[in-house]
A and B are shown apart, each in its own frame.
Chain A
Amino acid sequence: MTTDTARHVPDRLDSPLRSAVFSWEMLLVLVAVAIFIVNSISSPYFLNAWSLSDLTFNFTEKGLIALAMALLIIAGEIDLSVAAIIALASTLMGMALQAGADTPLLVAIGIGVGLLCGAFNGLLVTRLGLPSIVVTIGTMSLFRGIAYIILGDQAYKGYPQNFAFFGQGYVGWVISFELTLFLAAAVVFWFLLHRTSFGRAVFAIGNNPVASAFSGVRVERVKFILFLLTGLMSGIAAVLITSRLGSTRPSIAQGYELEVITMVVLGGVNILGGAGSILGVVLAAFIMGLVTFGLGLMNVPGIVMSIFVGLLLIAVIALPIIWSRFRERRA
């Protein structure tokens, strides 16, 4: 072992630059660039500001949830109910619409329902000490189930004109409101996770919840806040999706939870907790958008795209493992 005398323990060994070059995020950047190039070569329509702008709609809503989900998974928990929260929030927004609510109230209801659902998950997990994977499988059925009870096979339509801005509007030129919101949220979550003591607590809890509690981290409170944040982002996503589609059905956002989790894992977040970065998640969101959009340009149906996403998920985790085995064997 290379140990120094105590007097000279340096703060860091590697330079920040060196660790950045050999990081997961760099790998994701390379993958993104590769897909970008392939897309540009294979379709003449790809390299066009409006195409690229359309591309972002593929991931902004899921990406918003993925930001919060990343923190939750780093802390060692998971929320499978996010898509169901969207369904319930959207349904209740539709109900409010029928009762004559205006746009600000609709947004408030969407976000409020998200927060309430998140709080419900958080209470079950932290107060009763239940495993979040099972709790949220339950609430996933419950939340969407309530949406079905309210709506059945009906749909709410006729959202007000100015409500459409959130999911369809542009801030300027080709920059959509959704993309702007996603990037702003990414900055906020990056700051929260990597630059605040709350974020540090998230990492600590994910690596060792017991030692964290002994160290004065309020583990239950942090976890509760994380569920609340995930609920909040799901509520915001519900507003965006409802606005973009202009209608609500109880089957809205079906299967989103798995795509969100794929995004998070692809972004380098350890599914077992304790490690991950917001930059990685943002890059993964872009990659998934690029893949889906690129395949779409090549007229590959959506369901086939999912094969690529699934393969990508397994490959990015398997390849480093295979590579390190290979190197060990040669060493």
Chain B
Amino acid sequence: MKALAKNRETWLLAAIALLVAVIALRFPAFARPGNLLSVFNDTSILIILALGQMAVILTRSIDLSMASNLAFTGMAVAMTNAAYPEIPVVLLIVMAMAVGTALGALNGALVWKLGIPPIVVTLGTLTIFRGATFVLSGGAWVNADQMSQGFIALPRTAILGLPMLSWFAIAAIAAFHLLMTRTALGRSIYAAGINPTAAVYAGIDVGRTKFLAFCLSGMVAGLSGYLWISRYVIASVEVANGYELSIIAACVIGGVSIAGGIGSVAGAGLGALFLGIIGSALPVINISPFWQLAISGSAIILAVVLNARGERRQGRIILRRAEA
């Protein structure tokens, strides 16, 4: 019980519940299970992206290129679909993940092999990937009528009452939970972030771990590329422009420490959900959607202030030790 109270995720969950409850006081319809599920569905892509970003931030790195990766990969699969409608969607999803992973690997390799700070590398690839999207498409859009039926239908197909998009998010959460807690890679990611020196002594290749974390963030960005395009049924160069900061915001609100080593799948997921709920709630409670940005900004600042309180370093406490 005490451990639960100390837990960041518990507090965040409580904050979300409180948020929903407050909204429900005035607008009970918001808290109906059906509506909450649709909010979850709307947030699915952000959740998936936040999980990949979390893996990267845990290793003391940052990936600013995720949204551009998403745009490029999304454009690539949309154009492939438009040109070869006979290719099955499953194959396109595999392709999206492969392309995304390749772009992520490029980031990772520059960080690993050349030792360039991640913020510089991904600042560069942020513009390169988006520019490449333009080169790829020649500035043209891929519209709904150019996409195949299966391409558009997949995220909307309901299974057990939930759209596939939600299932993708659920699967990503499960996969990342397993990865982070049950595999050597997952634990290496934590170890490399908590104490890189010690990680080397424990036989962990920190550079390689960072590389793999970037591959992961690239992979989910690629997957999200397909999901985004098929959900919003339009592929353009401008897709998800500036979204990289929302992804990082979800992580920060979810208690992922920018200094590395601290953070969890539940936290990143809840952080994304928090942003998603605010986004969905604003129109319901009749506040202009233009408020969303300022509210999430305030939430980030509040979250980082609260997180910092928990992490504050203390002195040696010589006197108390003497009295004990």
Q: Direct contact between A and B in the complex (CB less than 8 angstroms)?
A: yes
Query: A residues near B, CB below 8 A?
Result: 80, 124, 128-131, 133-135, 137-146, 148-149, 151-153, 250, 254-255, 258, 261-262, 265, 271-272, 301, 303-307, 309-311, 313-314, 317-318, 321-322
Q: Cβ of A322: which chain B residues have Cβ within 8 Å of it? A: 114
Distance, CA A128 to CA B121, complexed state (A): 29
Distance, CA A133 to CA B117, complexed state (A): 14
27 pairs of residues in contact across A and B, judged by CB atoms under 8 Å: A128-B305, A131-B258, A133-B258, A137-B245, A137-B248, A137-B249, A138-B297, A138-B298, A138-B301, A139-B301, A141-B294, A144-B297, A145-B290, A145-B291, A145-B292, A145-B296, A148-B291, A250-B290, A258-B123, A258-B126, A262-B124, A303-B130, A304-B134, A306-B128, A310-B123, A310-B131, A314-B128
Q: Is the CB of A310 within 8 A of B248?
A: no
Q: Is the CB of B258 within 8 A of A134?
A: yes
Distance, CA A306 to CA B127, complexed state (A): 6
Distance, CA A258 to CA B242, complexed state (A): 11
Interface positions, chain B 204-260, Cβ under 8 Å from A, are: 237, 241-242, 245, 248-249, 252, 258-259
Q: Is the CB of A149 within 8 A of B258?
A: no
Distance, CA A134 to CA B131, complexed state (A): 26
Q: Cβ of A152: which chain B residues have Cβ within 8 Å of it? A: 288, 290
Q: A152-B288, A310-B128, A314-B121 are in contact. Are A142 and B294 (CB under 8 A)?
A: yes
Distance, CA A271 to CA B294, complexed state (A): 28
Q: What per-residue 1/0 map shows which CB atoms of B104-147 lie under 8 Å from chain A?
A: 00000010001111011101111110111011000100000000
A211 to nearest B CB, angstroms? Answer: 18
Say if the beta carbon of B304 comes within 8 Å of chain A.
yes
Given A265-B123, A301-B134, 5 extra CB contacts under 8 A: A137-B248, A138-B252, A141-B294, A144-B297, A271-B119
B128 interface neighbour in A149, A272, A311, A321, Cβ under 8 Å: A311
Q: Is the CB of B304 within 8 A of A131?
A: yes
Distance, CA A135 to CA B307, complexed state (A): 12
User: Closest residue to A258 on the B side, CB-wise?
Assistant: B123
Q: Is the CB of B124 within 8 A of A130?
A: no
Q: What per-residue 1/0 map shows which CB atoms of B6-19 lie under 8 Å from chain A?
A: 00000000000000
Q: Cβ of A131: which chain B residues have Cβ within 8 Å of it? A: 258-259, 304
Q: Is the CB of B294 within 8 A of A149?
A: yes
B135 interface neighbour in A124, A272, A307, A321, Cβ under 8 Å: A307
User: Closest residue to B117 on the A side, CB-wise?
Assistant: A271
User: Closest residue to B252 on the A side, CB-wise?
Assistant: A134
Q: Is the CB of A272 within 8 A of B117?
A: yes
Q: A137-B248, A271-B119 are in contact. Are A318 and B114 (CB under 8 A)?
A: yes
Q: A141-B245, A145-B292, A254-B242 are in contact. Are A314 and B110 (CB under 8 A)?
A: yes
B130 interface neighbour in A80, A138, A148, A306, Cβ under 8 Å: A306
Say if the beta carbon of B293 comes within 8 Å of chain A.
yes
Q: Is the CB of A303 within 8 A of B237?
A: yes
Classify the interface of chain A: helix, strand, loop or mixed: helix
Q: What per-residue 1/0 map shows which CB atoms of B170-195 lie under 8 Å from chain A?
A: 00000000000000000000000000
Interface positions, chain B 70-125, Cβ under 8 Å from A, are: 110, 114-117, 119-121, 123-125
Number of interface residues of B (CB under 8 A): 48
Distance, CA A68 to CA B305, complexed state (A): 26
Q: Is the CB of B116 within 8 A of A318?
A: yes
Say if the beta carbon of B295 comes within 8 Å of chain A.
yes
Q: Is the CB of B116 within 8 A of A303?
A: no
Q: Cβ of B281: which chain A residues have Cβ within 8 Å of it? A: none
Say if the beta carbon of B300 comes within 8 Å of chain A.
yes
Distance, CA A322 to CA B110, complexed state (A): 11
B304 interface neighbour in A138, A151, A262, Cβ under 8 Å: A138
Distance, CA A82 to CA B16, complexed state (A): 30
Distance, CA A311 to CA B135, complexed state (A): 15
A127 to nearest B CB, angstroms? Answer: 11
User: Closest residue to A254 on the B side, CB-wise?
Assistant: B242
Distance, CA A47 to CA B6, complexed state (A): 66
Distance, CA A301 to CA B138, complexed state (A): 10
B309 to nearest A CB, angstroms? Answer: 9
Q: A137-B252, A272-B117 are in contact. Are A307 and B294 (CB under 8 A)?
A: no
A6 to nearest B CB, angstroms? Answer: 35
Q: Is the CB of B293 within 8 A of A265?
A: no
Distance, CA A147 to CA B299, complexed state (A): 17
Q: Cβ of A262: which chain B residues have Cβ within 8 Å of it? A: 123-124, 127
B127 interface neighbour in A130, A138, A254, A309, Cβ under 8 Å: A309
Which of A80, A143, A145, A265 is packed against the most chain B CB atoms within 10 Å?
A145
Q: A135-B304, A313-B123, A321-B115 are in contact. Are A141 and B128 (CB under 8 A)?
A: no
Which of A137, A139, A140, A153 is packed against the most chain B CB atoms within 10 Å?
A137
Q: Cβ of B299: which chain A residues have Cβ within 8 Å of it? A: 138
A59 to nearest B CB, angstroms? Answer: 15
Distance, CA A140 to CA B14, complexed state (A): 26
Q: Cβ of A134: which chain B residues have Cβ within 8 Å of it? A: 252, 258, 300, 304
A311 interface neighbour in B124, B290, B291, Cβ under 8 Å: B124
Instruction: Give me the 3 closest cross-chain CB pairs, A-B, nearest first.
Output: A145-B294, A141-B297, A142-B297
Q: Is the CB of A321 within 8 A of B116?
A: yes
Say if the beta carbon of B308 comes within 8 Å of chain A.
yes
Q: Cβ of B134: which chain A residues have Cβ within 8 Å of it? A: 301, 303-304
Q: A131-B304, A135-B304 are in contact. Are A144 and B120 (CB under 8 A)?
A: no
Q: Cβ of A305: which chain B residues have Cβ within 8 Å of it? A: 131
User: Closest residue to B138 on the A side, CB-wise?
Assistant: A301
Distance, CA A215 to CA B78, complexed state (A): 59
Q: Cβ of A301: which chain B residues have Cβ within 8 Å of it? A: 134, 139
Q: Cβ of A318: which chain B residues have Cβ within 8 Å of it? A: 110, 114, 116
Q: A141-B294, A142-B297, A152-B290 are in contact. Are A307 and B132 (CB under 8 A)?
A: yes
B280 to nearest A CB, angstroms? Answer: 17
